[in-house]
Protein backbone atom coordinates (compact mmCIF):
# COMPACT_ATOMS: atom_id res chain seq x y z
CA UNK A 1 0.00 0.00 0.00
CA UNK A 2 1.31 3.44 -0.94
CA UNK A 3 1.51 5.49 2.31
CA UNK A 4 1.30 8.74 0.33
CA UNK A 5 -1.93 7.81 -1.46
CA UNK A 6 -5.09 8.83 0.43
CA UNK A 7 -8.22 6.72 0.56
CA UNK A 8 -10.58 7.82 -2.22
CA UNK A 9 -13.74 9.10 -0.54
CA UNK A 10 -15.26 11.34 -3.20
CA UNK A 11 -16.53 10.72 -6.70
CA UNK A 12 -14.64 13.10 -8.98
CA UNK A 13 -12.91 13.14 -12.35
CA UNK A 14 -9.19 12.48 -12.02
CA UNK A 15 -8.09 12.44 -15.67
CA UNK A 16 -6.51 15.81 -16.46
CA UNK A 17 -7.26 15.65 -20.17
CA UNK A 18 -10.88 14.73 -19.51
CA UNK A 19 -11.23 17.66 -17.09
CA UNK A 20 -9.78 19.95 -19.75
CA UNK A 21 -12.11 18.59 -22.44
CA UNK A 22 -15.22 18.81 -20.29
CA UNK A 23 -14.39 22.26 -18.93
CA UNK A 24 -13.91 23.93 -22.28
CA UNK A 25 -16.81 21.97 -23.78
CA UNK A 26 -19.10 23.32 -21.05
CA UNK A 27 -17.89 26.86 -21.68
CA UNK A 28 -18.56 26.51 -25.40
CA UNK A 29 -22.06 25.17 -24.66
CA UNK A 30 -22.98 27.81 -22.08
CA UNK A 31 -21.27 31.01 -23.19
CA UNK A 32 -22.71 33.33 -25.83
CA UNK A 33 -19.71 34.53 -27.83
CA UNK A 34 -21.67 35.95 -30.73
CA UNK A 35 -20.95 39.52 -29.66
CA UNK A 36 -17.20 39.05 -30.01
CA UNK A 37 -15.08 38.78 -33.17
CA UNK A 38 -14.27 35.20 -34.11
CA UNK A 39 -10.54 35.72 -33.61
CA UNK A 40 -11.20 36.59 -29.95
CA UNK A 41 -13.28 33.52 -29.10
CA UNK A 42 -10.24 31.60 -27.87
CA UNK A 43 -9.21 34.45 -25.58
CA UNK A 44 -12.78 34.82 -24.32
CA UNK A 45 -13.01 31.11 -23.51
CA UNK A 46 -9.75 31.32 -21.58
CA UNK A 47 -10.94 34.37 -19.65
CA UNK A 48 -14.20 32.63 -18.79
CA UNK A 49 -12.28 29.58 -17.60
CA UNK A 50 -10.03 31.74 -15.41
CA UNK A 51 -13.07 33.51 -13.94
CA UNK A 52 -15.13 30.34 -13.52
CA UNK A 53 -18.14 32.27 -14.78
CA UNK A 54 -19.69 32.38 -18.26
CA UNK A 55 -21.56 35.56 -17.30
CA UNK A 56 -18.30 37.48 -17.56
CA UNK A 57 -18.65 37.22 -21.34
CA UNK A 58 -20.84 40.33 -21.31
CA UNK A 59 -17.99 42.34 -19.73
CA UNK A 60 -15.38 41.40 -22.34
CA UNK A 61 -14.76 44.18 -24.86
CA UNK A 62 -12.06 44.78 -27.40
CA UNK A 63 -10.68 46.87 -30.21
CA UNK A 64 -11.50 45.06 -33.48
CA UNK A 65 -7.84 44.52 -34.38
CA UNK A 66 -6.41 43.52 -31.00
CA UNK A 67 -6.10 39.78 -31.70
CA UNK A 68 -4.21 40.30 -34.95
CA UNK A 69 -2.07 43.11 -33.54
CA UNK A 70 -1.02 41.14 -30.46
CA UNK A 71 -0.34 37.89 -32.29
CA UNK A 72 1.59 39.52 -35.13
CA UNK A 73 3.74 41.41 -32.63
CA UNK A 74 4.57 38.24 -30.72
CA UNK A 75 5.38 36.35 -33.92
CA UNK A 76 7.77 39.19 -34.77
CA UNK A 77 9.55 38.73 -31.43
CA UNK A 78 7.99 41.55 -29.39
CA UNK A 79 8.49 41.49 -25.63
CA UNK A 80 5.62 41.12 -23.17
CA UNK A 81 5.41 43.75 -20.42
CA UNK A 82 3.48 42.91 -17.24
CA UNK A 83 2.57 44.86 -14.12
CA UNK A 84 3.06 41.96 -11.71
CA UNK A 85 5.35 39.00 -11.27
CA UNK A 86 2.31 36.77 -10.79
CA UNK A 87 1.09 37.67 -14.27
CA UNK A 88 4.57 37.16 -15.71
CA UNK A 89 4.66 33.71 -14.09
CA UNK A 90 1.27 32.92 -15.65
CA UNK A 91 2.57 33.32 -19.19
CA UNK A 92 2.95 29.85 -20.67
CA UNK A 93 6.34 30.04 -22.33
CA UNK A 94 5.69 27.09 -24.65
CA UNK A 95 2.75 29.02 -26.18
CA UNK A 96 4.93 31.97 -27.15
CA UNK A 97 5.70 31.97 -30.88
CA UNK A 98 9.23 33.40 -30.68
CA UNK A 99 10.56 32.70 -27.18
CA UNK A 100 9.45 36.23 -26.37
CA UNK A 101 11.00 38.04 -23.41
CA UNK A 102 8.60 38.59 -20.50
CA UNK A 103 9.45 41.73 -18.53
CA UNK A 104 8.18 42.86 -15.13
CA UNK A 105 10.00 45.83 -13.58
CA UNK A 106 8.14 45.88 -10.26
CA UNK A 107 11.18 44.66 -8.31
CA UNK A 108 13.60 47.07 -9.96
CA UNK A 109 15.63 48.85 -7.27
CA UNK A 110 14.63 52.26 -8.65
CA UNK A 111 10.91 51.73 -8.18
CA UNK A 112 10.44 52.62 -4.46
CA UNK A 113 12.19 55.98 -4.81
CA UNK A 114 10.26 56.86 -7.98
CA UNK A 115 6.96 55.97 -6.31
CA UNK A 116 7.78 58.11 -3.28
CA UNK A 117 9.00 61.03 -5.38
CA UNK A 118 5.92 60.98 -7.66
CA UNK A 119 3.46 60.18 -4.85
CA UNK A 120 2.11 57.15 -6.67
CA UNK A 121 2.08 53.37 -6.36
CA UNK A 122 5.07 51.18 -7.04
CA UNK A 123 3.14 49.48 -9.83
CA UNK A 124 2.70 52.83 -11.59
CA UNK A 125 6.31 53.83 -11.07
CA UNK A 126 7.46 50.50 -12.48
CA UNK A 127 5.60 51.20 -15.72
CA UNK A 128 7.87 54.18 -16.37
CA UNK A 129 10.80 51.76 -16.61
CA UNK A 130 9.14 50.11 -19.62
CA UNK A 131 9.93 53.04 -21.91
CA UNK A 132 12.89 51.39 -23.67
CA UNK A 133 10.78 48.25 -24.32
CA UNK A 134 7.40 49.77 -25.18
CA UNK A 135 7.71 50.19 -28.95
CA UNK A 136 5.77 47.35 -30.58
CA UNK A 137 5.43 45.39 -27.34
CA UNK A 138 2.42 43.53 -25.97
CA UNK A 139 1.36 44.94 -22.58
CA UNK A 140 -0.66 42.96 -20.04
CA UNK A 141 -1.93 44.63 -16.86
CA UNK A 142 -3.85 42.40 -14.47
CA UNK A 143 -3.27 43.85 -11.03
CA UNK A 144 -2.96 47.60 -10.61
CA UNK A 145 -5.36 50.21 -12.06
CA UNK A 146 -2.68 52.82 -11.35
CA UNK A 147 -0.34 50.99 -13.72
CA UNK A 148 -2.89 51.21 -16.53
CA UNK A 149 -3.66 54.88 -15.87
CA UNK A 150 0.08 55.65 -15.75
CA UNK A 151 0.69 53.86 -19.04
CA UNK A 152 -2.08 55.83 -20.74
CA UNK A 153 -0.60 59.06 -19.38
CA UNK A 154 2.80 58.10 -20.74
CA UNK A 155 1.32 57.39 -24.16
CA UNK A 156 -0.51 60.72 -24.15
CA UNK A 157 2.87 62.36 -23.40
CA UNK A 158 4.43 60.73 -26.45
CA UNK A 159 5.93 57.48 -25.12
CA UNK A 160 6.54 54.74 -27.72
CA UNK A 161 3.40 52.83 -28.72
CA UNK A 162 2.91 49.18 -27.81
CA UNK A 163 1.29 46.90 -30.38
CA UNK A 164 -1.55 45.89 -28.04
CA UNK A 165 -2.73 46.30 -24.45
CA UNK A 166 -4.51 43.66 -22.37
CA UNK A 167 -6.05 45.76 -19.58
CA UNK A 168 -7.59 43.68 -16.79
CA UNK A 169 -6.66 45.26 -13.45
CA UNK A 170 -8.78 44.04 -10.56
CA UNK A 171 -10.19 45.90 -7.59
CA UNK A 172 -12.70 48.31 -6.12
CA UNK A 173 -10.80 51.60 -6.51
CA UNK A 174 -9.99 52.69 -10.05
CA UNK A 175 -10.29 49.31 -11.73
CA UNK A 176 -13.48 49.92 -13.71
CA UNK A 177 -12.47 53.50 -14.47
CA UNK A 178 -9.04 52.54 -15.79
CA UNK A 179 -10.57 50.08 -18.25
CA UNK A 180 -13.02 52.66 -19.50
CA UNK A 181 -10.08 55.04 -19.98
CA UNK A 182 -8.27 52.39 -22.02
CA UNK A 183 -11.31 51.64 -24.16
CA UNK A 184 -11.90 55.34 -24.84
CA UNK A 185 -8.32 56.55 -25.28
CA UNK A 186 -7.26 58.33 -28.42
CA UNK A 187 -3.75 59.01 -29.66
CA UNK A 188 -2.25 60.53 -32.79
CA UNK A 189 -2.52 57.74 -35.32
CA UNK A 190 -5.45 56.15 -33.49
CA UNK A 191 -5.81 54.08 -30.33
CA UNK A 192 -3.55 51.19 -29.39
CA UNK A 193 -5.60 47.97 -29.88
CA UNK A 194 -6.94 46.84 -26.50
CA UNK A 195 -8.74 44.04 -24.69
CA UNK A 196 -10.56 44.53 -21.37
CA UNK A 197 -12.92 42.91 -18.89
CA UNK A 198 -15.06 45.84 -17.82
CA UNK A 199 -16.01 46.40 -14.21
CA UNK A 200 -14.20 45.48 -11.01
CA UNK A 201 -13.24 41.95 -12.00
CA UNK A 202 -9.93 41.06 -13.58
CA UNK A 203 -6.63 39.87 -12.15
CA UNK A 204 -3.40 38.24 -13.15
CA UNK A 205 -5.02 34.89 -13.94
CA UNK A 206 -7.48 36.42 -16.42
CA UNK A 207 -4.85 38.63 -18.04
CA UNK A 208 -2.41 35.72 -18.39
CA UNK A 209 -5.17 33.51 -19.80
CA UNK A 210 -6.01 36.11 -22.43
CA UNK A 211 -2.37 36.63 -23.28
CA UNK A 212 -1.72 32.92 -23.68
CA UNK A 213 -4.67 32.63 -26.05
CA UNK A 214 -3.55 35.62 -28.11
CA UNK A 215 -0.09 34.07 -28.39
CA UNK A 216 -1.52 30.78 -29.66
CA UNK A 217 -4.91 31.56 -31.23
CA UNK A 218 -5.37 28.17 -32.93
CA UNK A 219 -5.34 26.16 -29.71
CA UNK A 220 -9.01 26.70 -28.89
CA UNK A 221 -10.26 27.65 -32.37
Q: What residues are labeled active site?
A: 49
Q: Strand order in 80-82's β-sheet? A: 60-62, 194-197, 164-167, 138-141, 80-82, 102-103
Please list, in sequence order, all residues whose beta carbon lies within 8 angstroms of the beta carbon of residue 14, skipping any fewer than 6 positions away: none
End-to-end Cα spacing for the chain: 44
Sequence length of the chain is: 221
The CA R_g of the chain, rounded to the nearest whole Å, is 18
| CA 209 – CA 59 distance, rounded (Å) | 16
Amino acid sequence: MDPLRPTRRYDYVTDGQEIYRRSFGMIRDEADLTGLPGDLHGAAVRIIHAAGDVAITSEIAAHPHVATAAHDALVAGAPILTDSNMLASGVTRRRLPDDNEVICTLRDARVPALAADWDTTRAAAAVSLWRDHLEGSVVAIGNAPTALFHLLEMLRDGAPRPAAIVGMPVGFVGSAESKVALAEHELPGGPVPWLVVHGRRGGSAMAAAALNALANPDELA
